[in-house]
Amino acid sequence: MTFIKLFGLLILLTVNSGISVNAADKCENFDAEPSHFISLYNDSKLLGKSICDTLGATVDLDSLLGKYVGFADNLDKTIDESFNTTSYYNDLKVQVKEFKSLSRLGVNKAELPYFRVTRNTTDFTDTHLYFSFDSWDTNGKVDTNSVECNKVPTCEELLTALEIAINQYKEPYVRLSAGATTKNISVLRKSWDRYFEEARSQTLWDAALTTKLEEDYLTQDKLVGPMQRQWFLVHPSLVIENVSDAIDGEETQQGLAVEWVGVNWWNKETSPVGIPIGVSLASIYSSRPTVDDSGHGVMFTFNNSFSIGWAKHDDEDGLYVSVDFLGLLTAKKERWSDYKDKIKELKFD
């Protein structure tokens, strides 16, 4: 699956995953009535409203499928009635055959094809008009300089009217879902902004470990907000440690703490204890004449900024505190590009 198709699928799945919209007032948003094929246009509108009404709602797939197949059959009849004497009738029938086959596979709202009528924009001497559904590569064409296309109505007028009539079955859903998507992306962006403002600052190693351990969440088939947990790997902190059994004057010293591995629930709403809290296996390195320089123990972090830890230096106990010194030196939002790169790697491996 190409990146563009996957991205489109992610957008549509996000829209369908619980956004509440008042579709009743917005599912009548159709293009103006064309000058031809009014009956097909009205059938397309009925199907378009039915599809649009399913946005954010439970779908009766059998009922919707019946309407979809019925519309495809009506389109086939319209082609037979209105284009059977044209030179491009067979090309249209190929397109309709593909559309009918697709309709019988089910209502996949991520891939409802448009009918396109276009000119060749790379060769201005080309007098052909091209038409096709955009879900496959086979194009039909007609020479607009031909005798039949100079009659009234012209081939271009007929095909353009057919394009409008067909596409109403998708038009209101696309417009409504696009608006809902924009709203949802805005909400998610605010959630990520909050994450980078409030959560603990992380190194590149921390971000890599977090994306790996939270892979199931981050690679869902929809856009997601920030994960509930952060993970840490060889994460450094400056600390102040007190070892009460050290010689006088050496009890309190600066030191370097390293969290070998840790986890932090950064959001109080999803924390298991109701406040932002983290725990890590950590070591501390500080220098005292009569105490072993290295100590090993556990560190707790509160409110994403203040840490308190215990370390065992041979037979001596040390207690230390830390502030998020790394957060003072780095912009937390610098990790945004790290997360985007890592998530992309996970999705497309």
Overall domain count for the chain: 2
The span from the CA of 39 to the CA of 328, in Å, is 67
In order along its 349 residues, the chain shows pLDDT tens digits of 333 333 333 333 333 433 333 444 578 888 899 999 999 999 999 998 888 887 655 555 678 889 999 999 999 999 999 999 999 999 999 999 999 998 998 887 777 889 999 998 787 789 999 999 987 778 899 999 999 999 999 999 999 999 999 999 988 887 776 555 555 566 667 788 788 888 998 888 998 999 899 888 887 756 677 899 999 999 998 888 887 766 666 677 888 999 999 999 999 988 999 999 999 999 999 877 777 888 999 999 999 988 999 999 888 888 898 866 555 555 555 556 666 666 666 655 5
125 and 42 within one domain: yes
Determine, yes or no, domain membership for 330. yes
Determine, yes or no, domain membership for 326. yes
Quote the strand ranges of 23-88, DSSP E: none
163 and 19 within one domain: yes
The span from the CA of 141 to the CA of 125, in Å, is 15
Measuring CA to CA, which residue among 332, 339, 303 is closest to residue 217? Answer: 339
240 and 172 within one domain: no
Determine, yes or no, domain membership for 183. no
Q: Do 208 and 342 form a contact (C-beta atoms < 8 A)?
A: yes
**Hey, what are 137's tokens?**
């590569």
209 and 158 within one domain: no
The span from the CA of 136 to the CA of 116, in Å, is 11
Whole-number pLDDT of residue 78: 96
Determine, yes or no, domain membership for 282. yes
Q: Do 222 and 17 form a contact (C-beta atoms < 8 A)?
A: yes
Measuring CA to CA, which residue among 139, 167, 169 is closest to residue 49? Answer: 169
Whole-number pLDDT of residue 57: 54
145 and 13 within one domain: yes
Which residue among 177, 209, 242 closes a domain? 177
Determine, yes or no, domain membership for 320. yes
244 and 166 within one domain: no
Domain encompassing residue 341 = 201-348
Single-letter residue type at 165: A
Whole-number pLDDT of residue 310: 92
> Cα angle vertex 301, ends 299, 303, to 5°?
175
The span from the CA of 293 to the CA of 278, in Å, is 25
Determine, yes or no, domain membership for 190. no
224 and 150 within one domain: no
Whole-number pLDDT of residue 317: 86
Determine, yes or no, domain membership for 184. no
Determine, yes or no, domain membership for 188. no
Whole-number pLDDT of residue 292: 81
